[in-house]
Structure 1
Amino acid sequence: MNAIETRIHALHQYVPELTAPTDLEDFWEQIALEAAESMEFSVEQVTSPFLQAKVYKVILEGAANTRIHAWYMLPIFHQPHPLPCIVTFHGYSDSKGQPENHAAWLLMGYAVFAIDIRGQGGETGNGLMQAYGMTKGWVTQGILEPESSYYRAVAIDCLRAVRCALIMPEIDPERVFVFGGSQGGGLALLVSAIEPNLRAVIAHVPNMCHMDLAILQSVSSVIEVAEFVTRFPDSLDKVLRTLSYFDIMNLAHRIKLPVHVTVGLKDTTCLPEAIFAAYNRIVSVNKTIEVHPFMGHALPPGFHAAGHAFFSQLHTGKNIIA
């Protein structure tokens, strides 16, 4: 084997010890129940430059008294209802963007549900209370306890967004997919581990994998966690315990739906080892990983068309494009 093949082969064998706490299942059962408690949301059609799509602003009740802003977009060209839907999660510090950012999915015949992650670069604030200081950014808010952590609030927000999409009257609940890159890829895998009614997931260069390694070596958002521990070195054990609840590696045994993952071997943000540590433990019998030896932290070329090809295999006997 050449050096590239050797590297990829080694990554496929990488299965580090799990860091899961003993109450992991109870923790996520409680989150799933809390996420189901409130499905309050409003839907308002807004003007857009689209000639062949309708755009709605959705505001749904997230965790911790936070109103989550989302776009809900429907193609209207020869599209019978119910429609397949892609729920998208954005990268760290970004936002749901503008409706035109999602035009490719609409042109392929998908409805799109795109949300802001709380407190980051969009219209959504953050009502989560905190009893301790944090470093710059968002991920260290409440990091000392999993029950008060930023990640827990975000998980509830994302689960409610998925469930909102599932009950929209125009959507086929058997064809709701999740998609994201980096932070969004990690969140896509997270909700696919908790929500049983999703059809498939695509996670590009996902974050939130093998988080103990990430805090040590990566330059992703968890560098904020490393800075927090540097300031408060006595907090390391508590921080690692909190992160372990949200580590995709520890949740991979719950991911049973079709899943496609991408990884760049030159990625220093979401490390190849971290991504493979999670991927190798995913139990789905329909899983694939797309390795780009010379790619860093990026979505691969042609990801919209490739995503459509993956999702369209899974239409359960129905034609996605009429």
Structure 2
Amino acid sequence: MATLPPQLGPLPPSVVSEPDDFDRFWARTLDEARSFDPEARTTERVAVEQPLSELRYWDISFRGFGGQRVKAWLSRPARCDDEPLPCVVQIPGYGRGRGLPGENPHVAAAGMAHLLLDVRGQGCGYGSGGDTPDLHDGAPEAPGVVTRGISAPETYYYRRLIVDAVRAVDAVRKLPDVDAERVIVMGNSQGGGVALAVAGLVSDLRGVTVSVPFLCDIPAVYQSAQGEPYAELVRYLSVRRAEREVVFRTLAYVDGVNHARRAQAPSLWGLGLRDTCCPPLGGQQALAAYAGPTEVEIYSDNGHEGGEFYYLRRQLTWIRELCAA
């Protein structure tokens, strides 16, 4: 377990439960997902035009949950030709899809390969859209996935998204211009919670970096979170009054605290201590539970925006140093 900085203070015990079959559930889930494409060799890749002359972009698709095709953008510096580069796999926040090529250039501009995952069934909350439906369910939709399939862990939405993110790591490791031993997972908010799950499920990542993570110590932060997306859970339980125990059992399988206990890769965290969307207690509990090395940047006067570009600069420097070691 990580030692917290003094300014975070002592924490109460985490209230999230850990299902007895947690490891078996995820091992079975990933075995099933990988059975559709055992070697992750059927990744499709098409070069695309975009306005940034110093970067190259490709439209990528690979097999995610259930063998479904999941979209992503792959980018890298144009000057690096085809040499294998470290790769950052980034998971977007809630409501955002992969957007447009060129929209998120910072990682590739810093000299690394960058895979920006599309988020199934999302993309119409903000940003510039997404292209991956959830379970062939029609076009991606506005935010509203927190309770989708929540009556059982097998049908829960975030089981599918976490699998997509793990399979994105599998896919980039098979690309000839990616260094398979230097893959880092990155995410903010929703992406941070999913990145922690990937870190717990993939044992040999080079690193993981998160900010203001969602889906951490969910039973505790649910009590004080304001607005979306936790409000979706409130509305659901206000109607389905008898399902509280079932709902929180499902959520335990995706909770970042449980996944952090299994994660070994070096990690960098950013926390906004005035965050009311994803209250910082959740991120602090996941940080405290994290089994590998940790570093943390604390933004005492910021909310869910966290450190914004202050933190992104720190992340890029940290990633480059980690990959050079």
TM-score normalized by structure 1? 0.89
1:84 maps to what in 2?
A: 86
| 1:126 equivalent among 128, 134, 143 | 134
Instruction: Check the 8 A contact 2:15/2:220 in 1, yes or no.
Output: no
| 1:306 equivalent among 314, 317, 323 | 314
Q: Could you tell me how far 1:252 is from its partner in structure 2?
A: 1.7
Q: Using the alignment, how far apart are the partners of 2:108 and 2:25 within structure 1?
A: 36
Cα-to-partner distance string for 1:164-219 (whole Å, 9 max, x where unaligned): 11111100011111111000111111101101231101101111100112332213
Q: Could you tell me how far 1:316 is from its partner in structure 2?
A: 5.5
Q: Using the alignment, how far apart are the partners of 2:203 and 2:69 within structure 1?
A: 24
Q: Could you tell me how far 1:136 is from its partner in structure 2?
A: 7.0
Q: Could you tell me how far 1:97 is from its partner in structure 2?
A: 2.0
Amino acid at match of 2:110: M
2:47 maps to what in 1?
A: 45
User: Which secondary structure state, in structure 2, belongs to the residue aligned with residue 262 of structure 1?
Assistant: strand
Alignment of 1:144-159 (within 5 A): 144-159=151-166
Q: Using the alignment, how far apart are the partners of 2:43 and 2:179 within structure 1?
A: 19
1:60 aligns with 2:58: no
Q: Which deviates more, 300-309 or 157-166?
A: 300-309
Q: Could you tell me how far 1:251 is from its partner in structure 2?
A: 1.8
2:8 maps to what in 1?
A: 8
Q: Using the alignment, how far apart are the partners of 1:252 and 1:108 within structure 2?
A: 28
Alignment of 1:1-322 (within 5 A): 8-10=8-10, 13-37=11-35, 38=37, 39=40, 40-64=42-66, 66-78=68-80, 81-121=83-123, 122-127=130-135, 137-219=144-226, 220-284=228-292, 286-300=293-307, 301-315=309-323, 317=325
Q: Which deviates more, 308-317 or 209-218?
A: 308-317
Cα-to-partner distance string for 1:136-160 (whole Å, 9 max, x where unaligned): 7112111000011101111111111
Distance 1:237 1:184, change over 3 A: same
User: Which secondary structure state, in structure 2, belongs to the residue aligned with residue 163 of structure 1?
Assistant: helix
Instruction: Check the 8 A contact 2:270/2:311 in 1, yes or no.
Output: no
1:320 maps to what in 2?
A: none
User: Which secondary structure state, in structure 2, belongs to the residue aligned with residue 101 of structure 1?
Assistant: coil
Q: Using the alignment, how far apart are the partners of 1:302 and 1:136 within structure 2?
A: 27
Q: Which deviates more, 237-246 or 160-169?
A: 160-169
Number of residue pairs aligned between Structure 1 and Structure 2: 305
User: Which secondary structure state, in structure 1, belongs to the residue aligned with residue 304 of structure 2?
Assistant: coil
User: Which secondary structure state, in structure 2, belongs to the residue aligned with residue 172 of structure 1?
Assistant: strand
User: Which secondary structure state, in structure 2, belongs to the residue aligned with residue 216 of structure 1?
Assistant: coil
Distance 1:255 1:128, change over 3 A: farther
Q: CA RMSD in A?
A: 2.0
Q: Which deviates more, 102-111 or 239-248?
A: 102-111
Instruction: Check the 8 A contact 2:149/2:157 in 1, yes or no.
Output: yes
User: Which secondary structure state, in structure 1, belongs to the residue aligned with residue 316 of structure 2?
Assistant: helix
Q: Using the alignment, how far apart are the partners of 2:67 and 2:167 within structure 1?
A: 13
Q: Could you tell me how far 1:315 is from its partner in structure 2?
A: 2.2
Q: Which deviates more, 307-316 or 223-232?
A: 307-316
Gaps of 5+ in 1: 130-134, 318-322
Instruction: Check the 8 A contact 2:92/2:190 in 1, yes or no.
Output: yes
Amino acid at match of 1:183: Q
Gaps of 5+ in 2: 124-129
Q: Using the alignment, how far apart are the partners of 1:274 and 1:103 within structure 2?
A: 29
Q: Using the alignment, how far apart are the partners of 1:128 and 1:244 within structure 2?
A: 26
Q: Using the alignment, how far apart are the partners of 2:103 and 2:318 within structure 1?
A: 20
Q: Using the alignment, how far apart are the partners of 1:54 and 1:312 within structure 2?
A: 19
Q: Using the alignment, how far apart are the partners of 1:252 and 1:32 within structure 2?
A: 18
Q: Using the alignment, how far apart are the partners of 1:42 and 1:164 within structure 2?
A: 10
